[in-house]
């Protein structure tokens, strides 16, 4: 599928399948069309039909056939507009879990059947006193519920607004290299394995790996990083980013559904499809209201039948069921979700799992990686020396740089940059491979070398100058050692810069009573330097990737809730393990697959925005649930006549006003959601 195809498919409003509760998928048809047709049918019903038995000043009654016209329009509206809810109720009842769809179906069905009976009784049988119809309530409930579900559908479009422009970043054509000749083809024709030439100033047409040439790439529109990123052979480039002054050729590694942009769009869709626990709470509340309204209406019918007559008992029972209709409850969550998702997208927050937002209020610890998360990951060589009589210091740097050629690790980039600055001629390295949690190994001029950390040397009980290490590490440097034949040949010490926003992140976490914890594979001394500057007291250093996931479990073992913040690559296991996984920097498959929240920018302050938005969203959802359900809790027993012994029976008009007021309050409350910053 092409990116354009994905975009048009995502934006298509004819969404035939939609999750309507309890995990059931149902046929929704064109929900947008259903809403507008139903709204048009509602207008004459509102003009001619009384509201809860009371005619409003603008309503007219002089047309002798108005009741029949309302009945016809009501029937069309009931069948056409109510179809989604009938299907949803059928699915809920099949699962033995009546919820929102069942409550809506019960309300509109009772309102319709009783209203048809009212028309027949009043206009054909001429019953006195006249029987009140509920076409007004039937029409407005269908409209509001369709609007609520249309808002849910549109949420994915609102969320996608922050990434819709990403699809447009891709150029329409690409320079495909075939047998040494360059041919212009459309981007849609590219497939994995194609070789493409990218010229100076052009947009990169797809994800790929550079096979020849070198350049600098502006990835700001994709990752949020404003700086140019140096790219060379074997480096990965992302489709949609802008090439600098160099020309290079690359092999396509991802296009269409496999590309980074497509994966981000899929992430947004997945977030919309996943119902949060608050939404499920709305379903549970609706389920309880269903049983409550049904029980109260039956009890009220029997009671009033015994103390009154059949007409009065039936009228009160029907009023109870109609008043129970969840006008406000149906909008309580969708409106907040729509508003929250739009705000998140506008601030570069892609929320993959909305349940993560509701976990924020339970968080006790925020575990975070150091390099690339709290620090910029822009290492600069501060010192390098040889400890072998046969090697000069430049030889150590040269060999390490030769081994690191092709690596994009921040430490490797720092070494390569230093070698280039010292104009060292690199040599070919063979059989270069990563050693998980250690470093890398490879052959230079027939000799096997390794680049390792001090922690590895300690584990292997190999000798090195620990005094020098302490001096360099205490100054905040990461120290890498070159070794061969179990002998340390020299070292390179590099320093990193703390991101200016990191201090605000740590201070904000502490203010929210969330304890910050640093996790890093770097040496303890360097980690402590960074931690001290930021005010972090809990530090775990010299960690392997699997150690981080174990630490997350360790913190969780006493019932604590953990947020893990990392770069989404080495931290993937811990991101998945934590209650809330936040990936800073969203350029990898692992970030998308492992994290609950992906931050488009690599700004630690975005974590603060996420926490703020999560708390505000959860608070608004809870408030709206109370408003939506509170109306029913109060009016159902009053409509049943619980206060009749003291002379008070709820006027249906009052019930309708309160119903409308609660719906308006829910909508206004949702729209007031905003970030503090």
Over range 659-671, report the average pLDDT.
78
Q: ∠ CA 109-114-115 to the nearest 5 degrees? A: 100
- The crossing angle, in degrees rounded to 10, of helices 652-671 and 605-640 is 180
Q: Quote the tokens at residue 446.
A: 């027939």
pLDDT of residue 538 exceeding 90: yes
7 and 100 in a single domain? The answer is yes
- H-type alpha helices, 602-651: 605-640
Q: Residue 347: inside a domain, yes or no?
A: no
Return d(Cα 272, Cα 338) in angstroms, integer.
Answer: 10
24 and 136 in a single domain? The answer is yes
Q: Which of 3, 26, 28 is nearest to 15 (CA)?
A: 28
Q: Residue 281: inside a domain, yes or no?
A: yes
222 and 91 in a single domain? The answer is no
Name the DSSP letter for residue 123: I
Q: Is pLDDT larger for residue 153 or for residue 647?
A: 647
Q: Per-residue pLDDT tens for 167-203?
A: 555 678 899 999 889 999 988 888 889 999 999 888 8
pLDDT of residue 16: 37
pLDDT of residue 518: 94
Q: Residue 309: inside a domain, yes or no?
A: yes
Q: Which of 421, 256, 271, 253 is nearest to 355 (CA)?
A: 271
List % helix, strand, coil for the chain (3-state, nearest 5): 55, 20, 30
Over range 496-502, report the average pLDDT.
86
384 and 473 in a single domain? The answer is yes
Domain count, the chain: 4
Residue where a domain stops, chosen among 247, 267, 287 = 267
Q: ∠ CA 151-156-157 to the nearest 5 degrees? A: 85
Q: Residue 603: inside a domain, yes or no?
A: no
pLDDT of residue 235 exceeding 60: yes
pLDDT of residue 33: 86
Q: Where are the beta strands (DSSP E) in 421-560?
A: 429-435, 439-444, 447-453, 477-484, 487-495, 515-519, 538-540
pLDDT of residue 260: 60
Return d(Cα 235, Cα 241) in angstroms, integer.
Answer: 14
Alpha-carbon distance values, 451 to 167, 194, 400 (Å): 40, 34, 7
Q: ∠ CA 277-281-286 to the nearest 5 degrees? A: 150
491 and 388 in a single domain? The answer is yes
- The crossing angle, in degrees rounded to 10, of helices 605-640 and 277-307 is 10
Tracing tokens 């407005």 back to the chain, one arrives at 140
Strand partners, 452: 481
pLDDT of residue 246 exceeding 70: yes
pLDDT of residue 109: 87
Q: Quote the tokens at residue 268.
A: 């947004």
Helix (H, G, I), strand (E, B) or coil at 540: strand
Least confident of 8-22, 258-272, 346-360: 8-22
What burial class does residue 461 get, using C-beta atoms within 10 Å of its C-beta: 0-12 exposed, 13-18 middle, 19+ buried?
exposed
Q: Is pLDDT larger for residue 628 or for residue 260?
A: 628
450 and 517 in a single domain? The answer is no
Over range 347-367, report the average pLDDT.
85
Q: Residue 609: inside a domain, yes or no?
A: no
> SS3 letters for 166-182?
HHHHCCCEEEEEECCEE
Return d(Cα 81, Cα 387) in angstroms, integer.
Answer: 81
Residue 506 region, left (φ>0) first, then alpha (ψ -120 to 50), else beta? Answer: alpha
What burial class does residue 29 get, using C-beta atoms within 10 Å of its C-beta: 0-12 exposed, 13-18 middle, 19+ buried?
middle
Total number of residues shown for the chain: 677
Q: ∠ CA 671-673-676 to the nearest 5 degrees? A: 145
122 and 160 in a single domain? The answer is yes
What burial class does residue 12 get, using C-beta atoms within 10 Å of its C-beta: 0-12 exposed, 13-18 middle, 19+ buried?
exposed
pLDDT of residue 279: 58
Residue where a domain stops, chosen among 541, 565, 595 = 595
The CATH number linked to 362 is: 3.40.50.1000
Alpha-carbon distance values, 11 to 135, 158, 269 (Å): 34, 10, 11
pLDDT of residue 11: 34
Distant-in-sequence, close-in-space partners of 225: CB < 8 Å, separation ≥ 6: 219, 585, 601, 602
Alpha-carbon distance values, 532 to 17, 363, 370 (Å): 53, 23, 13
The CATH number linked to 252 is: 2.70.150.10
- φ, ψ for residue 311, nearest 5 deg: -60, -45
Q: ∠ CA 304-310-311 to the nearest 5 degrees? A: 100
pLDDT of residue 278: 58
Q: Residue 404: inside a domain, yes or no?
A: yes
- φ, ψ for residue 363, nearest 5 deg: -65, 135
Looking at the chain, the whole-number percentage of residues with pLDDT higher than 90 is 26
What burial class does residue 86 get, using C-beta atoms within 10 Å of its C-beta: 0-12 exposed, 13-18 middle, 19+ buried?
middle
488 and 504 in a single domain? The answer is no
- φ, ψ for residue 458, nearest 5 deg: -65, -40
Residue where a domain stops, chosen among 439, 470, 495 = 495
Query: What are the catalytic residues?
Result: 369
Q: Per-residue pLDDT tens for 443-494?
A: 999 999 999 999 899 989 999 999 999 999 888 888 999 999 999 999 999 9
pLDDT of residue 568: 52
Q: Is pLDDT larger for residue 110 or for residue 482?
A: 482
Return d(Cα 634, Cα 615) in angstroms, integer.
Answer: 28
Q: Is pLDDT larger for residue 641 or for residue 125?
A: 641
pLDDT of residue 27: 40
Q: Which of 311, 322, 293, 298 is nearest to 652 (CA)?
A: 322
The CATH number linked to 409 is: 3.40.1110.10
Q: Residue 39: inside a domain, yes or no?
A: yes
Return d(Cα 411, Cα 103) in angstroms, integer.
Answer: 60
Sign for the CA dihedral angle at 114, 120, 125, 131 comes to positive
Domain of residue 79, residue span: 3-164+275-342+616-671
Looking at the chain, the whole-number percentage of residues with pLDDT higher than 70 is 78
**Chain centroid to CA 409:** 28
259 and 280 in a single domain? The answer is no
Helix (H, G, I), strand (E, B) or coil at 48: helix
Q: Per-residue pLDDT tens for 653-663?
A: 565 566 667 77
pLDDT of residue 613: 92
512 and 459 in a single domain? The answer is no
Q: Residue 590: inside a domain, yes or no?
A: yes
- H-type alpha helices, 367-409: 393-404
pLDDT of residue 215: 87
pLDDT of residue 560 exceeding 60: yes
pLDDT of residue 269 exceeding 90: no
pLDDT of residue 245: 79
Residue 376 region, left (φ>0) first, then alpha (ψ -120 to 50), else beta? Answer: alpha
155 and 298 in a single domain? The answer is yes
Q: Which of 182, 189, 183 is nearest to 206 (CA)?
A: 189
Q: Report yes or no: 489 and 482 within 8 Å, Cβ to Cβ.
A: yes
Q: Is pLDDT larger for residue 13 or for residue 669?
A: 669
Pick the most confident of 13-27, 206-220, 645-659. Answer: 206-220
Least confident of 104-108, 181-185, 393-397, 612-616: 104-108
225 and 200 in a single domain? The answer is yes
Mean pLDDT score of the chain, rounded to an integer? 79
For 445, other C-beta atoms within 10 Å of its C-beta total: 11
pLDDT of residue 610: 92
What burial class does residue 503 get, using C-beta atoms within 10 Å of its C-beta: 0-12 exposed, 13-18 middle, 19+ buried?
middle
* Cis check: omega of the bond before 144, within 30 degrees of 0: no
Strand partners, 597: 351, 582
Sign for the CA dihedral angle at 18, 24, 28, 31 comes to negative
pLDDT of residue 526 exceeding 70: yes
pLDDT of residue 352 exceeding 80: no
pLDDT category, 99, cuts 50, 70, 90? confident
Q: Is pLDDT larger for residue 54 or for residue 548?
A: 548
């Amino acid at each position: 599928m092409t990116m354009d195809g994905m975009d048009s498919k995502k934006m298509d409003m004819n969404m035939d399948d939609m999750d309507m509760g309890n995990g059931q998928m149902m046929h929704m048809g064109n929900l947008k069309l259903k809403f507008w047709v139903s709204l048009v049918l509602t207008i004459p019903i509102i003009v001619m039909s009384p509201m809860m038995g009371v005619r409003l000043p603008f309503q007219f009654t002089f047309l002798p056939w108005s009741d029949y016209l309302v009945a016809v329009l009501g029937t069309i509206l009931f069948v056409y507009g109510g179809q989604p809810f009938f299907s949803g109720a059928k699915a809920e009842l099949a699962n033995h879990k009546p919820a929102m769809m069942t409550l809506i179906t019960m309300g509109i069905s009772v309102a319709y059947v009783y209203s048809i009976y009212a028309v027949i009784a009043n206009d054909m049988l001429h019953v006195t006193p006249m029987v009140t119809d509920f076409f007004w309530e039937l029409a407005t409930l269908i409209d509001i519920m369709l609007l609520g579900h249309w808002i849910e559908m549109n949420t994915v479009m609102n969320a996608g607004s922050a990434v819709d422009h990403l699809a447009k970043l891709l150029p329409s054509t690409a320079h495909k290299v075939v047998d040494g000749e360059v041919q212009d083809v459309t981007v849609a024709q590219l497939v994995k394995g194609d070789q493409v030439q990218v010229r100076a100033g052009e947009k990169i047409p797809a994800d790929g790996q550079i096979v020849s040439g070198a350049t600098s790439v502006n990835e700001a529109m994709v990752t949020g990083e404003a700086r140019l990123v140096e790219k060379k052979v074997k480096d990965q480039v992302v489709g949609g980013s802008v090439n600098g002054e160099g020309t290079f050729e690359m092999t396509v590694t991802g296009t269409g559904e496999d590309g980074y942009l497509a994966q981000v769009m899929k992430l947004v869709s997945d977030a919309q499809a996943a119902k949060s626990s608050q939404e499920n709470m709305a379903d549970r509340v609706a389920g309880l209201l269903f049983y409550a309204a049904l029980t109260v209406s039956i009890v009220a019918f029997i009671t009033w039948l015994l103390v009154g007559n059949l007409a009065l008992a039936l009228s009160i029972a029907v009023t109870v069921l109609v008043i129970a209709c969840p006008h406000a409850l149906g909008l309580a969550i969708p409106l907040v979700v729509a508003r929250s998702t739009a705000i998140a997208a506008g601030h570069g927050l892609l929320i993959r799992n909305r349940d993560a937002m509701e976990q924020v209020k339970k968080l006790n610890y925020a575990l975070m990686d150091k390099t690339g998360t709290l620090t910029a990951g822009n290492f600069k060589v501060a010192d390098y020396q040889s400890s072998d009589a046969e090697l000069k210091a430049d030889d150590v740097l040269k060999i390490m740089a030769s081994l690191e050629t092709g690596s994009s690790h921040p430490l490797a980039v720092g070494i390569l940059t230093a070698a280039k600055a010292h104009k060292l001629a690199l040599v070919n390295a063979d059989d270069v491979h990563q050693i998980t949690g250690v470093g890398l190994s490879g052959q230079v001029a027939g000799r096997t070398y390794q680049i390792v950390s001090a922690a590895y040397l300690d584990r292997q009980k190999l000798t090195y100058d620990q005094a020098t290490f302490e001096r360099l590490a205490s100054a905040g440097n990461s120290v890498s050692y070159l070794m061969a034949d179990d002998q340390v040949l020299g070292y390179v010490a590099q320093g990193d810069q703390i991101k200016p926003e990191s201090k605000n992140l740590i201070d904000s976490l502490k203010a929210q009573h969330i304890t910050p914890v640093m996790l890093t594979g770097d040496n303890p001394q360097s980690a402590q330097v960074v931690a001290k500057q930021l005010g972090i007291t809990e530090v775990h250093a010299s960690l392997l990737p699997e150690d981080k996931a174990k630490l997350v479990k360790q913190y969780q073992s006493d019932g604590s809730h953990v947020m893990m913040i990392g770069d989404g690559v080495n931290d993937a296991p811990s991101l998945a393990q934590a209650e809330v996984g936040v990936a800073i920097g969203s350029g990898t498959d692992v970030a998308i697959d492992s994290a609950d929240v992906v931050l488009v920018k690599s700004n630690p302050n975005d974590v603060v925005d996420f926490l703020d938005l999560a708390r505000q969203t959860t608070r608004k959802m809870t408030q709206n649930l109370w408003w939506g359900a509170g109306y029913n809790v109060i009016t159902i027993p009053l409509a049943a006549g619980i206060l009749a012994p003291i002379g008070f029976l709820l006027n249906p008009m009052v019930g309708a006003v309160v119903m409308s007021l609660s719906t308006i309050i829910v909508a206004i409350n949702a729209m007031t959601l905003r970030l503090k910053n």
